[in-house]
Amino acid sequence: MRHSNRDLHTGVLSDRFKLNVLLDITHAINSNQSIEQLSKIFTFFLKEQVGLTKYAFIYKQEEWDVWLKSGIKPKKNENFNIENLKRFKEITVIDSSPSAFINEFKVVIPLYHNEEIISYLLMGDLESLRLNHLEMIEELRFFQSLAYVLLAAIENKKMVKMTIHQTKLKKELEVASEMQKMLFPSDLPSNDRMDISAKYISRHEIGGDYYDFIPINEEEYMLCIADVSGKGISAAMLMANFQATIRVLFTYQNFDFIQLLYELNDKVYKSSKGEKFITFFIAHYNVKSRKLTYVNAGHNSPFVTNGKKIKLLEEGSIGLGMLEELPFLNIGKEVLEANTTLILYTDGIVELENEKNEFFELDRLIQLVNQYYPLKMEDLNTLIFSKLDEWRGSRKFVDDTAIFSCRFY
């Protein structure tokens, strides 16, 4: 050792010793040593330089835990209860405690962050320091300062690790968002056969709503819309995977409603492990026969209208992924008259609340579609969203919101 660690007569730690210990810890921190290496330096200071054989560093990460320890009986360590320590708000010399664990020590030193205690340093066998009460408190403040330096280094490393994780996650979200955008149809038809338009507002980088228009041949087309239960990254990622799966199935398999729905249900259930589900509406339209064949798997009921007469499309099954196997599957069929409009939407529209906590609701959407029936689909969607803005007032969209409007001439 390059300096004396304490006064031989009083046992007080020398100023030079304290300075060098702080310099050693600071140098280790600045050289970006690991938390494990920093803890070894702190342990060496307590055991080898100060002579403590009994101590515990209790630290709150996700839960309270004994992080560093020495001289503690295993059973008492296992029975450690944080509630017994919460009464110690400042450096305290322990006389006695109802806790057998705390009675193993002589001193409790609490450590704060943002006015909240996040760590305790407990120390025993301090007799070797031969300190009176005033000297003891002064020396304990040094132990507290040293523990704070170590704690700050740990918190900084956690923050850096979290920042790196968040940066990586943000990049993954950006990539996933771009991939999801590529899966949405980029060119919807507007010709003498049909006029199709969609409008979508996503609450996050990756949305939980999905719509698609897939030409099978010159006479047949697939239309679909979907919404995933729940919010957040996991829900959005499930939907992004669902989008890709549909595209793959349509690319490499002959279309079959029953086979498609059972396969999609299986994939959603396995991906979400039953914790989330996807409501899904899919329709097959034949231009020549004007037949619309569809399955509604638990989705908000789309509707067809000629500007006066309304028909809700409700035949189908439960949401995909709710159960391991679909308990039933019904296929709906409609023959569309000329100039019929099909409206598909997600619950972000009908469940949008105004400042009086009233829902927009399906009846209001139907009324708008019929009232402005002559409009082209793009103009109709724009008008509907302007009405949604009026309805919500100062409130924000709290869910992904999509409308997919189709007119068949």
d(CA 99, CA 96): 9
The pLDDT, as a whole number, for residue 1 is 40
d(CA 104, CA 72): 7
Q: What is the mean pLDDT of each run of 10 residues along the chain (409 residues)?
A: 46 68 73 77 80 83 80 61 85 82 86 85 72 64 81 74 73 66 81 94 77 90 92 77 81 74 92 88 96 96 95 96 94 96 96 94 96 96 96 89 95
Closest listed residue to residue 28, CA positions, set 15, 43, 39, 17: 39
The pLDDT, as a whole number, for residue 3 is 43
Please give the CATH architecture assigned to the domain spanning 15-162.
2-Layer Sandwich (3.30)
The pLDDT, as a whole number, for residue 10 is 46
The pLDDT, as a whole number, for residue 334 is 96
Cβ-contact 345, 328 below 8 angstroms: no
The pLDDT, as a whole number, for residue 177 is 66
Closest listed residue to residue 301, CA positions, set 291, 316, 290, 286: 316
Domain spans in the chain, listed from the N-terminal domain onward: 15-162, 184-408
Closest listed residue to residue 289, CA positions, set 225, 188, 221, 187: 221
Please give the CATH architecture assigned to the domain spanning 184-408.
4-Layer Sandwich (3.60)
Cβ-contact 100, 76 below 8 angstroms: yes
